Amino acid sequence: MNKLVDTIAAIASGHINQAISIIRIVGPDALDIIKKIFTGKIGPNKTIQYGFIKDKDQKIDEVLVSFFIGSDNFVGEDTVEINSHGGIVVTQKILDLVLTHGARLATKGEFTRRSYLNGKISLIKAEAINSLINAKTSKQHRIAINSFDLEREKKIQDFLNSLEYLIGLCEINIDYPEYDDVPILENKKFIEKIDELVEQLNKITKHSEANKIFVSQLNVAIVGEPNAGKSSLINAMLNEDKSIVTNIPGTTRDVVEAEIVFNDLVLKFKDTAGIRESNDEIEKIGIDKSWKQIETSDIIIHVIDSTKGISGFDQKIIEKSKDKKYIQLWNKSDLIDKKEKDKLYISSLNKDISSLENCLSNLFIFDEIESSTLVFNPRQNYCLKKSLLYLESVQKSIKEFNHTYDVLIVDLHLAWESLKEILGNVDKEDLLDSIFKNFCLGK
Ligand SMILES: Nc1nc2c(ncn2[C@@H]2O[C@H](COP(=O)(O)OP(=O)(O)OP(=O)(O)O)[C@@H](O)[C@H]2O)c(=O)[nH]1
Ligand SMILES: [Mg+2]
């Protein structure tokens, strides 16, 4: 075992009182450390042993210890897992004991990072594990668990192979122009391959983009004039008294946020300050924030007081929301007699908000594409899109400018590198840092 690598430990279960806690120790000293603090048998590989954790003569807990010795395990290094009783104090005492015997506290996601660096899992799988842990909807769970199979890695590898073939063709023509002296425009195979790659990448990136709404949370701004009933609406959605409601216009100042899982979508609702002309310093700051929310949110819910109708400020809100998914809600329907056919009415006061719920479920229906296509997460899709752009540039270079192989090869290399980044590049520490910082401690 490589002693240059240090031994790391962390609580893999939660920091709460629970039935069982798991303290995980990984690295070359894992077995030496457990020998010093565990009264039970050490190993063999893939066994669970019973005993006590002791600090010299003092009993700390009665535990079961799992042994994964050697490299045939998740991390690919000696791994020991102590299953202790789940009290916060006892769990912490065991971890402290492990640390005083020479282990270092693991950083977020460090076990999974080592697993990746040891070649045990792909970067795509590492990301999928994190998505699975953090899944808030069953769709997120399904996308994450589907990423455990190697289909995505295989697809990327196929793309890489095709690009390597094309790069090879370019190199032959650059090094030995007399060897295969055909102009690119007449090299049908080359052009066909590029067209095919562009088409496939287009399909995959569009599909992943459409599914982004299911894998990341959507920001939903609730905006409108003061007293329209925005805070009453967020409270009705949550069924809780979250945002202050009064009949004084200008009640809400700061943005009040609440997360709601709705029909496989994770929606972050933001109640905002009512938009109007104001001389009040604090209210003006709130109103600026409301406009910002319109700019940065994915969905705009525009609340209008049915007893008043559309004002000049409402017109401005409509104007500012024109490139967004936009829902106009006519609130206080309980106060009016006549309703117009094409308007969506709600009464936040009476918690009668079914028309909003129907509207939200229909909002993304057209974005769903055949489910057989693979879904890549936003980071991976960004790399796919980058690669697609380089390939489109190659396409253009051939068809419009009839560029030579030595020009094309530059973009082909860049397309290849962008794809390679999806599978991870061990040299890129900052890429790994940015991925694993989102992991839990102990994973
Ligand atoms: N009758 C009736 N009153 C409502 C309804 N929704 C809200 N109200 C009342 O309208 C007043 C303003 O409601 P809020 O929810 O505070 O309005 P807001 O849009 O958040 O107002 P600001 O925070 O000032 O921008 C309160 O007195 C609410 O009880 C409704 O559906 N029907
Ligand atoms: Mg309010």
CA distance linking residue 393 with residue 196, whole number of Å: 14
pLDDT of 226 reads 98
Q: Closest Cα to residue 301, out of 246, 361, 356?
A: 356
Mean pLDDT, residues 318-329 taken together: 95
pLDDT of 171 reads 82
For the ranges 169-178, 335-344, 404-413, the lowest mean pLDDT is seen at: 169-178
pLDDT of 1 reads 44
Question: Residue 279 to residues 285, 286, 306, 312, 369: CA-CA distances in angstroms?
Answer: 10, 12, 26, 18, 49
For residue 318, the SS3 value is helix
- Residue that has been written with the tokens 């080592």 in this structure: 114
Mean pLDDT of the chain: 91
pLDDT of 377 reads 92
The alpha helices in 176-252, defined as continuous H runs, are: 188-215, 230-238
Q: In this structure, which ligand is nearest to the CA of 249?
A: 1
- Whether 306 and 345 have beta carbons less than 8 Å apart is answered as yes
| pLDDT tens profile 166-195 | 988 888 777 665 555 555 556 778 889 999
- Whether 352 and 327 have beta carbons less than 8 Å apart is answered as no
Q: How much of the chain is in helix, strand and coil states, percent to nearest 5?
A: 45, 20, 35
- Residue that has been written with the tokens 């690669």 in this structure: 387
The proportion of the chain whose per-residue pLDDT surpasses 90, expressed as a percent, equals 75
Q: Closest Cα to residue 290, out of 270, 319, 314?
A: 270
Which of the listed residues 349, 350, 353 should we mutate to test ligand 1's pocket, taking the one with most ligand atoms within 8 A of CB?
349
Regarding the beta carbon of 229 and ligand 1, being less than 6 Å apart is answered yes
Contacts 24+ apart (CB under 8 A), 390-393: 390/414, 390/415, 390/418, 391/194, 391/197, 391/198, 391/201, 391/415, 392/198
In terms of pTM, does the model score above 0.85? no
pLDDT of 161 reads 93
Which of the listed residues 231, 232, 243, 244 should we mutate to test ligand 1's pocket, taking the one with most ligand atoms within 8 A of CB?
232
| pLDDT tens profile 126-156 | 999 999 999 999 989 998 999 999 999 999 9
Mean pLDDT, residues 242-258 taken together: 97
* Residue 419, amino acid: L
Is the pLDDT higher at 408 or at 389? 389
Regarding the beta carbon of 424 and ligand 1, being less than 6 Å apart is answered no
Domains in the chain, CATH or no CATH each: 8-106 (3.30.1360.120), 151-213+372-436 (1.20.120.430), 218-367 (3.40.50.300)
pLDDT of 132 reads 95
Regarding the beta carbon of 226 and ligand 1, being less than 6 Å apart is answered yes
pLDDT of 372 reads 62
2, pLDDT greater than 50: no
Burial class (CB in 10 A: 0-12, 13-18, 19+), 429: exposed
pLDDT category of residue 361 using cuts at 50, 70 and 90:
confident
